[in-house]
């Protein structure tokens, strides 16, 4: 039976972002499961014909490349991974295009790196491009640009669950559907005979991560913990998330029919502007500000700006206007923000009263190191 709650989520979402993992798209030998892709595209096209904006975030390039090359294990070396992804990417998008064409829908391949969404200008360009693709009635098919992403330089998303959440956060009220190889979130290891599926998560709790039992696979990078982090990001900024089993070919159609399968994570009713979403989740920090207990409390619980008196230490390579991680005394990141001062100035005024800034620096350009309007909590 359709769920009124899920039906309302489908109706009120301004975009539906569907993420499919490697294990869903490929057979055990690494070859693409074309029957699964055909069913997936059928279901996506039905939603497009219902005038819904739909975005697909698809893994599978490395898996497709492994199948083409006859590899039985995922390569470990970076250059090999990039080459296998390049070999597989063409096969992946060609397969999608072939099945989409049966419905008269065009595909639009969008390859991104973490830097594309960390840089403000490129972030806006990516958002505008994806939205324009949707205006044309085409299906954006998004994947990490594995052929140029370099893990050692921190330009990789790590897995497509994070990529999917960053893409979903380009929109105001998204529904993110994460299709995986398990039925959803269970209250304990799914292999336990007493394990029960959790149908709805109304409020985020750190205890949710304790329920995760990761499965190892030589074909994929993400796991349930990465999906929970994605769910936390989206529900914390105004969207909803569903995690469901993509191994069943009927799953996506059932979700689009508002049937109660998988686990739905409800929005926490904390709408964030696009700029705040970028600041809190997409951008990469250039340095750190370490706070004392009082300053951390003022930032986290009282919504205050960050003043120099509460800063214990700072490090990094940032200048004025740079992005900084705001860290509590225990080393936990609590926020990110745009700093009004560079590292050299902050090291001079840390722990000082605002009234002392002019004496130390010769000017008082700003009373706050990070203004609350340029600050976003991340936990």
pLDDT at 159 exceeding the cut of 70 = no
Indicate if 192 and 66 belong to the same structural domain.
yes
Indicate if 292 and 352 belong to the same structural domain.
yes
Q: What is the mean pLDDT of the chain?
A: 85
Residue that is written with structure tokens 């998988």 in the block: 262
Over range 147-153, report the average pLDDT: 49
pLDDT at 155 exceeding the cut of 60 = no
Domain interval for residue 322: 285-377
Neighbours of 204 (CB within 10 A): 15
Give the helix, strand, coil percentages of the chain, each rounded to 5: 40, 20, 40
Which CA distances in Å does 109 have to 88, 121, 353, 357, 368?
Answer: 14, 20, 52, 51, 43
Q: Considering only 83-97, 155-169, 243-257, 347-361, which range has the smallest mean pLDDT? A: 155-169
Indicate if 61 and 112 belong to the same structural domain.
yes
Indicate if 212 and 302 belong to the same structural domain.
no
Return all residues near 168 (Cβ < 8 A) that are at least 6 apart.
15, 17, 55, 174, 175, 176, 234, 239
- Which among 174, 70, 155 is positioned nearest to 117, based on CA atoms? 155
**Of the residues 243, 276, 309, which one is the last residue of a structural domain?**
276
pLDDT digits (tens, 9 = 90+) for 172-221: 889 999 998 889 988 877 778 888 899 999 887 777 776 665 454 444 44
Output the pLDDT for position 76: 79
pLDDT digits (tens, 9 = 90+) for 312-358: 999 999 898 888 999 999 999 998 888 999 999 999 999 999 889 98
Output the pLDDT for position 271: 61
Output the pLDDT for position 132: 95
Is the pTM above the cut of 0.85?
no
Which CA distances in Å does 156 have to 33, 146, 318?
Answer: 26, 8, 21
Which CA distances in Å does 145 have to 63, 86, 158?
Answer: 14, 9, 12
Indicate if 100 and 181 belong to the same structural domain.
yes
**Of the residues 276, 294, 309, which one is the last residue of a structural domain?**
276
Return all residues near 263 (Cβ < 8 A) that are at least 6 apart.
184, 185, 197, 198, 199, 200, 201, 242, 243, 244
Q: Tally the domains of the chain.
A: 2
Indicate if 322 and 193 belong to the same structural domain.
no
| Reported confidence tier of residue 32, pLDDT bands at 50, 70, 90 | confident
Query: Which ranges constitute the DSSP H helices of the chain?
Result: 4-12, 22-25, 34-49, 61-69, 78-101, 114-118, 120-135, 160-168, 224-235, 251-256, 274-277, 293-301, 343-349, 357-361
CATH of the domain at 31: 3.40.1160.10
Output the pLDDT for position 148: 61
| Reported confidence tier of residue 160, pLDDT bands at 50, 70, 90 | confident
* Tokens describing residue 218: 């030589």
pLDDT digits (tens, 9 = 90+) for 130-149: 999 999 999 999 988 756 65
Give the Cα separation of 274 and 364 in Å (integer).
Answer: 30
Give the Cα separation of 197 and 160 in Å (integer).
Answer: 24
Output the pLDDT for position 45: 96
Over range 50-59, report the average pLDDT: 93
Give the Cα separation of 345 and 320 in Å (integer).
Answer: 9
CATH of the domain at 306: 2.30.130.10
Indicate if 347 and 254 belong to the same structural domain.
no
* Tokens describing residue 283: 């951008």
Give the Cα separation of 226 and 236 in Å (integer).
Answer: 15
Indicate if 137 and 66 belong to the same structural domain.
yes
pLDDT digits (tens, 9 = 90+) for 233-267: 888 888 999 999 988 889 999 999 999 999 999 98
Indicate if 343 and 248 belong to the same structural domain.
no
Indicate if 30 and 164 belong to the same structural domain.
yes
Indicate if 296 and 197 belong to the same structural domain.
no
- Answer yes or no: are the C-beta atoms of 27 and 33 closer than 8 Å: yes
**Of the residues 220, 255, 276, which one is the last residue of a structural domain?**
276
Indicate if 308 and 269 belong to the same structural domain.
no
Output the pLDDT for position 179: 93
Give the Cα separation of 243 and 278 in Å (integer).
Answer: 24
């Amino acid at each position: 039976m359709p769920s009124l709650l899920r039906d309302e989520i489908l109706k009120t979402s301004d975009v539906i972002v569907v993420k499919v993992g490697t294990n869903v798209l490929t057979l055990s030998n690494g070859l693409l499961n074309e029957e699964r892709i055909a069913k997936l595209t059928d279901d996506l096209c039905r939603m497009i014909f219902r005038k819904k904006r739909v975005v697909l975030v698809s893994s599978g390039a490395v898996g497709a490349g492994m199948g083409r090359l006859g590899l039985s294990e995922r390569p470990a070396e970076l250059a090999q991974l990039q080459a296998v992804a390049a070999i597989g990417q063409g096969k992946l998008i060609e397969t999608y295009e072939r099945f989409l064409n049966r419905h008269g829908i065009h595909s639009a391949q969008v390859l991104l790196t973490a830097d594309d969404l960390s840089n403000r200008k490129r972030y806006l360009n990516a958002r505008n491009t994806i939205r324009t693709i949707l205006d044309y009635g085409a299906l954006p098919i998004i994947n990490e640009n594995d052929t140029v992403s370099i893990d050692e330089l921190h330009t990789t998303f790590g897995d497509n669950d994070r990529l999917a959440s960053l893409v979903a956060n380009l929109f105001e009220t998204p529904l993110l559907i994460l299709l995986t190889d398990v039925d959803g979130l269970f209250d304990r290891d799914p292999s336990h005979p007493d394990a029960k599926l959790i149908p709805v998560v109304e409020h985020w709790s750190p205890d949710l991560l304790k329920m995760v039992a990761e499965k190892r696979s030589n074909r994929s990078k993400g796991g349930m913990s990465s999906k929970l982090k994605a769910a936390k990001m989206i529900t914390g900024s105004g969207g909803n998330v569903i995690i469901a089993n993509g191994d069943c070919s009927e799953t996506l159609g059932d979700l689009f029919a508002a049937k109660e399968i998988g686990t739905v994570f409800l929005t926490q009713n904390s709408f964030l502007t696009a700029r705040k979403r970028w600041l809190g989740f997409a951008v990469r920090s250039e340095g750190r500000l370490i706070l004392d207990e009082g300053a951390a409390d003022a930032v986290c619980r009282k919504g205050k700006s960050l003043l120099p008196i509460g800063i214990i230490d700072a490090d990094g390579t940032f200048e004025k206007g740079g992005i900084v991680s705001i860290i509590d005394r225990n080393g936990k990141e609590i926020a990110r923000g745009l700093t009004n001062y560079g590292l050299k100035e902050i090291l001079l005024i840390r722990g000082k009263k605002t009234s002392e800034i002019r004496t130390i620096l010769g000017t008082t350009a700003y009373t706050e190191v990070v203004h609350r309007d340029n600050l976003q909590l991340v936990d």
